[in-house]
Amino acid sequence: MRDGMQNMMYSLGQSGCYALCLIDVAEEYNGKEIDIVKAICEAISRGYIEYHWENWADPNNFYVHQPALFLEMLTKKKWIVKHDLACREKKENNEYIIRRYEFVQTGRTQGHFERDVFKPYLNSKTVRCGEEVSTRVCIVQN
């Protein structure tokens, strides 16, 4: 284990909702659980997810740069991840939906991702008081 792991886990809890939703998509597709810490650390080392070990409070930490490659790493299948309109529903069996919510509070926009079947942060104020602004549609390629 590397130094700063507890800081990384704290930062994941604060800002890792999209990455956790992608892991949940992969778990649903694979039909089994994934070691979250191992998956996140590997994605960071590959550059799919941004994380600055020297600054665990960096606001860019856990930005997912390559969601399709992250899903491919987790499932060994090719994926397309695209942005779509809010309130979009699943259209095909090979699609997985992740919803983005935003809440503006004192001039600052808070964002949060969750799935209909997975809530990475229970009772999210961003979801309760904000609104759904877009979806991420994850499509597995055959």
The 10s digit of each residue's pLDDT in 96-140 is 999 999 999 888 899 999 999 999 999 999 999 999 999 999 999
Residue 63 has pLDDT above 90, yes or no: yes
Domain that holds residue 49: 5-140
Between CA 12 and CA 134 the distance in angstroms is: 22
Give the model's pLDDT for residue 67: 98
Place of tokens 């590397």: 2
The residues facing 119 across adjacent strands are: none
Confidence of residue 90 (pLDDT cuts 50, 70, 90): confident
Between CA 22 and CA 115 the distance in angstroms is: 9
* Chain segment 14-29, per-residue pLDDT in tens: 999 999 999 999 999 9
Give me the number of domains the chain comprises: 1
Encoded amino acid at 67, one letter: P
- At 106, list the tokens: 């004192």
Q: Where are the beta strands (DSSP E) in the chain?
A: 79-84, 95-105, 108-114, 131-140
The residues facing 100 across adjacent strands are: 113, 134
Residue 142 has pLDDT above 80, yes or no: no
